[in-house]
Amino acid sequence: MNRITRLAAGAAGAVALLSAPVPALAAAPEAATVTTCGWSGLQAGLSTRVCADVTGDGVVLYGQIGLAGPPSPGTSWPPAPKELITRLSADVVGIGPLGAATGRAVFTVSTVRVDGISTTAPCGSVVHASFAVEGRLWGPAPVTVDVPVSC
């Protein structure tokens, strides 16, 4: 085999190697997110609840504010905006607090999500969260949820 033939054969082999499909590396499976919400609480025409998204040992806690039901006959529509104070807190049962967040929200008609705590918790623990909403003329009526963190 002469020198040109060997170079051509080597180049063809290199092209074949470079154009061959490369097997993909198996990606680690992502942990599924489990969303758990507590029972709804009713106050002043509003429905409130607290939810937790758990992914592995990561926990995201948030509150939701929505209408408690359809408007009563004779009620003006849309309702006047309600300025609210929100309080979200969480702790790991038997261990200690994870955090707390206080804020303000304005509710009109659409459901409002109130974000507040994003943290990690030990595997096998239970996170207890509480969400409370209060207005100018009425106090808080906390709603709660307990979620397991099973990594």
Buried b (16+ CB within 10 A) or exposed e, 25-52: eeeeeeeeeeeebbeebebeebbbbbbb
> At residue 5, does pLDDT exceed 70?
no
CATH superfamily of 32-149: Immunoglobulins (2.60.40.10)
Question: Mean per-residue pLDDT for 67-73?
Answer: 84
How much of the chain exceeds pLDDT 70, in percent? Answer: 80
Q: What is the pLDDT of residue 7?
A: 42
Summarised one tens digit per residue, pLDDT across range 96-134 is: 999 999 999 999 889 999 998 999 999 999 999 999 999
Q: What is the pLDDT of residue 28?
A: 52
Summarised one tens digit per residue, pLDDT across range 27-59 is: 556 779 999 999 999 998 899 999 999 999 999
Task: Name the residue ranges covered by the structural domains of the chain.
Answer: 32-149
Token duo for residue 22: 């490369």
In the block, residue with structure tokens 């943290």: 119
Q: What is the pLDDT of residue 72?
A: 78
Cβ burial of 76 (10 Å; 0-12, 13-18, 19+) is exposed
Predicted model pTM:
0.76
**Residue 106 identity (one-letter amino acid):** V
Question: Mean per-residue pLDDT for 78-98?
Answer: 92
Q: 4: left (phi > 0), else alpha (psi -120 to 50), else beta?
A: alpha
Q: What is the pLDDT of residue 11?
A: 46
Token duo for residue 85: 């104070």
Q: What is the pLDDT of residue 109?
A: 86
Reference 116, options 106, 129, 107; nearest CA is: 129
Buried b (16+ CB within 10 A) or exposed e, 111-145: ebebebbeeebeeebbbbbbbbbbbeeeebebbbb
CA–CA separation, 9 and 59 (whole Å):
58
